[in-house]
């Protein structure tokens, strides 16, 4: 699979209720696409769905879920999958995504994205379920690396290798959350650069950027702040490795006016363009040098 198999959506922002009024004013914000949290629309026939449909008329939309619970030992929730399929049919999203995690067991949700142990048992379990989900939806999905505050002692596979193995074996995509890589790396003392380098480029269909909160002894993935400078640096590394990938800025708490969030997406656009231009210059210089050898 080539990277170009994934739609190139450009630079987008998360669709949030705090911005509905501004978006309803009719002025198209300066972003290329939007990402909607699936669960905010899957059970709603009111204003949220009307806003989403209106947005979709003018721009591509990705559906980003938090309740698939792909790693749970519970049976897959076929009712949820049916409703997700119906929403996808209605919205025709460019991408359908969720997280590499589990959210609950025995029919009860913790409303959190909980870390999996990265073992052969988990790998077989997740791969089988991704295949079933993709069959049920009639399309491929992308899984996002979660932000984590603990790993498990019995894990035998590094997270990026696990994510890559799931993507290869289940033939799904990767939504690489660069902020989550940085947050988890700081929380668990691993090398964020090495994580990016271990992700198979052809599987990356989307990138997330967001801000975190420094809690002292750990970084908390709050999506309540601008993208941190360390995350911008990591984003540059990711773009240099993966090329131009659809990029989205998430801002979920202490949400500023729409223009501020759009400005963050514009920064991603410039960062991406500069990285790719630098890479082209480096490549041209290297080619030129080679011709004189």
Partner 1 sequence: MHQPHNPPSLSDLQHALAAAILRRGVDTTRAREVSDWMAVPARIDPGSRLAVYTEGYPARLLEALRETFPAVAHLIGASTFAALVARFIRAVEIHSSNLNRCGESLPHFIREDAISESLPFLADLATLECAVQRAFHAYEQPALLAHQFEVATLAEWEATVLQFQPSVAVVHSPWPTLDLWRARDTPRDEIDIDLNDRAQSVVVERRGLDVHCTAIDHVEANLLAKLLAGAPLGEAIHGIATENGADIPVGDWFSAWMRSQWIVGYAVSPLPGT
145-164 positions binding partner 1, by CB under 8 A = 149-156
Q: Is 105 in the site for partner 1 (CB under 8 A)?
A: yes
Cβ–Cβ < 8 Å for 89, 122 = no
Minimum Å gap between C-beta 244 and partner 1 is 35
Report the alpha-carbon distance of residue 248 to residue 60 in Å, rounded: 12
Please enumerate in sequence order all residues whose Cβ is within 8 A of that of 68, keeping only pairs 6 or more positions apart, or say none: 80, 84, 98, 99, 133
* Beta-sheet strands, E only, within 68-134: 95-99, 102-105, 108-114
Report the residue from 30, 117, 200, 243 that binds partner 1 according to the rule CB under 8 A: 117
Output 9 or 141, the one with its CB closest to partner 1.
141
Tokens 């696409």 label which residue? 33
Q: How far is the CB of 219 from partner 1 (least distance, A)?
A: 11
224 binds partner 1 (CB under 8 A): no
- Kindly state the smallest distance separating residue 70's Cβ from partner 1, in Å: 12
Q: Which stretch binds partner 1 (CB under 8 A): 65-73, 174-182, 244-252, 265-273?
A: 65-73
Q: 72 to each of 80, 112, 130, 140, 174, how far by Cα in Å?
A: 14, 12, 12, 19, 19
50 touching partner 1, by CB under 8 A: yes
Candidate residues 2, 92, 106, 291; the one interacting with partner 1 per rule CB under 8 A: 106
In the complex with partner 1, which residue's Cβ is closer, 22 or 43? 43
214 counts as binding partner 1 under rule CB under 8 A: no
Q: 204 CB contacts (<8 Å, ≥6 apart)?
A: 3, 6, 173, 174, 175, 176, 238, 242, 245
Question: In terms of CB distance, is 185 or 202 closer to partner 1?
Answer: 185
Among 111, 257, 282, 285, binds partner 1 (CB under 8 A): 111
CB of 242 to partner 1, least distance (A): 28
Give yes or no for a contact between 134 and 166, defined as CB atoms under 8 angstroms apart. Answer: no
119 binds partner 1 (CB under 8 A): yes
Q: Residues 70, 130: contact at Cβ < 8 Å?
A: yes
255 sits near partner 1 (criterion: CB under 8 A): no
Rg (CA), the chain: 19
Say which residue the tokens 């603990």 belong to.
Answer: 150
Nearest to 197 by CA among 138, 241, 230, 243: 241
Which two structure tokens, joined as six digits, stand for 257? 């006016």
- The residues of the shown chain that bind partner 1, judged by CB under 8 A, are 39-40, 42-48, 50, 67, 69, 71-73, 77, 80, 102-112, 114, 116-117, 119, 121-122, 125, 149-156, 187-189, 217-218, 220
């Amino acid at each position: 699979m080539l990277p170009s198999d994934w739609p190139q959506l450009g630079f987008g922002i998360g669709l949030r209720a705090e911005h509905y009024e501004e978006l309803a004013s009719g002025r198209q914000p300066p972003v290329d696409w939007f990402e909607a949290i699936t669960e905010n629309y899957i059970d709603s026939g009111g204003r949220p769905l009307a806003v989403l449909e209106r947005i979709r008329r003018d721009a591509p939309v990705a559906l980003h879920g938090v309740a698939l619970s792909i790693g749970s030992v519970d049976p897959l929730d076929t009712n949820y999958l049916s409703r997700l399929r119906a929403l996808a049919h209605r919205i025709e999203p460019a991408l359908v995504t969720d997280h590499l995690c589990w959210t609950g067991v025995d029919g009860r949700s913790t409303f959190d994205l909980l870390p999996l142990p990265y073992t052969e048992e988990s790998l077989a379990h997740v791969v089988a379920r991704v295949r079933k989900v993709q069959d049920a939806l009639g399309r491929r999905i992308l899984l996002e690396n979660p932000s984590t505050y603990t790993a498990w002692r019995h894990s035998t596979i590094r997270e990026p290798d696990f994510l890559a193995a799931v993507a290869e074996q289940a033939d799904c995509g990767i939504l690489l959350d660069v902020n989550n890589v940085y947050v988890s790396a700081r929380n668990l003392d691993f090398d964020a650069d090495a994580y990016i380098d271990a992700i198979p480029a052809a599987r990356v269909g989307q990138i997330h950027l967001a801000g975190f909160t420094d809690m002292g002894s750990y970084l908390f993935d709050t999506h309540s702040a601008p993208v941190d400078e360390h995350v911008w640096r990591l984003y540059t590394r990711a773009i240099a490795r993966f090329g131009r990938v659809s990029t989205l800025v998430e801002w979920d708490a202490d949400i500023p006016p729409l223009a501020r969030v759009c400005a963050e997406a514009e920064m991603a656009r410039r960062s991406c363009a500069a990285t790719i231009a630098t890479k082209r210059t480096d490549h041209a210089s290297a080619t030129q040098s080679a011709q004189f050898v």
